[in-house]
Structure 1
């Protein structure tokens, strides 16, 4: 049966930018939920010091949870080779972090969709960088997971492989037992596409999942398109919401994942409106998992 983890979507600025929240506080909040683990983020301020890693792992495990997944955002589509080499070194650092925390899955991304980049060139650059990182991950029993992403919180341009045809092309370019997909259904909506159509194409490669539901506070997807280029992070009109109350059809999603034998981690991206909301999302997903597995 799949296991549930949670990600601190509501506290990213506090944990990664201004330090107004400590990781120990998030651990206490998350461990009070009916979940099995905590998805980590490589950009947590307190994680830049390696000497902190063991103590955070201990705090989580002392609460009966684990840290199965690492969320990080390498930028592998930069045209400069020296820049990409630095991103590969960052990815190795994050792989080390995942290993030290006892995790099994470390995210990779394609990179930013820079206007001058062709699809073929971007796929080639991203695939080469990911393949370079795989032996390092394999030596530490870590699986690299490529997410159908929208945009990192701190990026200027959207994800290069945001559209499913580009994403599938990149996935098909990397075939290895230590590489798979982290499926996020909400991000397909932001690409103007059907998340189920994407899932049916890549379900056999899915090894982890982000559970989310996404809403536009105002306007349309087309309005979002006009705003997303050249702005840092997420557009203001974009909002995460309570799982099960948005646009995603979790019955069809879970039916397909069950069909292909998925039995791994589902991490919840929710709670932007408070921990009560996150608790309701946990309850919804637990019921759905019990229904399908």
Structure 2
């Protein structure tokens, strides 16, 4: 299992205020004993070959891999032209993923916003059509589309169309491809949607190709019943607070046992840092300890179910051997 990090705490600086660049983030992350960095589409202020090449050089110089690029397409937008633009942007992010991450790297895909005028059936049809049309390019580039059980992109007005588990499960069941399409599991998003995250993992474990790790705690005076009554529709409830992984509501021991039992020895990307890099470092250290306890200290990358699906479809293995010299923090 390899560990990457995502700059949740710096996202506004990176993509809203533009007071920080992707190169600044790569340099800032050098202090973390992680193996890779997960990037976000909004970090790419330009997508020219020269710019992407500079990002690749910066990652290599810092000793990081790039296992996943987070994109947030809105495939449920009622405007056909917007849906087309979102599709084209996702294609662009897939090409950048292939350039920075190589074969097997993942591009996150979302369903889109829960636009009130779009019915469940219409939304599902649009999303399935978009993903099915992306898959030939995913096969050509040999990247994996990873659908996240998300809440809401920071630039969106409405929550995720497939936030609720029943919609999410119907969506993935309508897409047969398992070689270049799978699930990115985020346990905290399951909590926001009103689900027990470990129970939700049991439902999707056979299709998990990547994972984000974060944690949430209840604010003083809050209860799980209060949280469930919010039904996940008001966003990140004020009852939920960001915190160090392993110290919140997610049952990480059970989650790690489920992953390991299913042969998941892939990337886990930490989504933290809202309360500073000190907590991000604590989360990395927690994952490093979990790697020893639940994954036998493995720094390989091998997702058994995904490997089986690729083999059955005639694609080469994307498994990676253990790191011979794991990246150490430049302290």
TM-score (norm 2): 0.82
Distance in 2 separating the partners of 1:204 and 1:27: 32
Contact 1:224 / 1:235 at 8 angstroms: preserved in 2?
no
1:101 equivalenced with 2:100 (yes/no): yes
Residue 42 of structure 2: SS of its match in structure 1?
coil
Contact 2:114 / 2:159 at 8 angstroms: preserved in 1?
yes
Tell me the alpha carbon deviations over residues 135-194 of structure 1, each in whole angstroms, 9 at most, x when there is no partner. Answer: 111111100000000111110000010011110110111121100000000001101111
Runs of 4+ in 1 over 6 A off after TM superposition: none
1:106-117 aligned within 5 A:
106-117=107-118
Contact 2:182 / 2:209 at 8 angstroms: preserved in 1?
yes
Residue 182 of structure 1: SS of its match in structure 2?
strand
1:204-219 aligned within 5 A:
204-217=206-219
Structure 2 residue aligned with 1:253:
255
- What displacement does 1:49 show? 4.5
- What displacement does 1:22 show? 2.3
Distance in 2 separating the partners of 1:237 and 1:48: 38
- What displacement does 1:239 show? 3.5
Structure 1 residue aligned with 2:169:
168
Q: Residues 279, 70 of structure 1: CA spacing in aligned structure 2 closer, same or farther, 3 A cutoff?
A: same
Structure 2 residue aligned with 1:231:
none
Contact 2:230 / 2:237 at 8 angstroms: preserved in 1?
no
1:198 equivalenced with 2:200 (yes/no): yes
TM-score (norm 1): 0.92
Distance in 1 separating the partners of 2:59 and 2:283: 21
Q: CA RMSD in A?
A: 1.8
Unpaired runs of 5+ in structure 1? 229-233
Residue 257 of structure 1: SS of its match in structure 2?
helix
Contact 1:19 / 1:45 at 8 angstroms: preserved in 2?
no
Contact 1:145 / 1:179 at 8 angstroms: preserved in 2?
yes
- What displacement does 1:224 show? 7.8
Unpaired runs of 5+ in structure 2? 296-331
Structure 2 residue aligned with 1:271:
273
Distance in 2 separating the partners of 1:161 and 1:151: 10
Contact 2:38 / 2:69 at 8 angstroms: preserved in 1?
yes
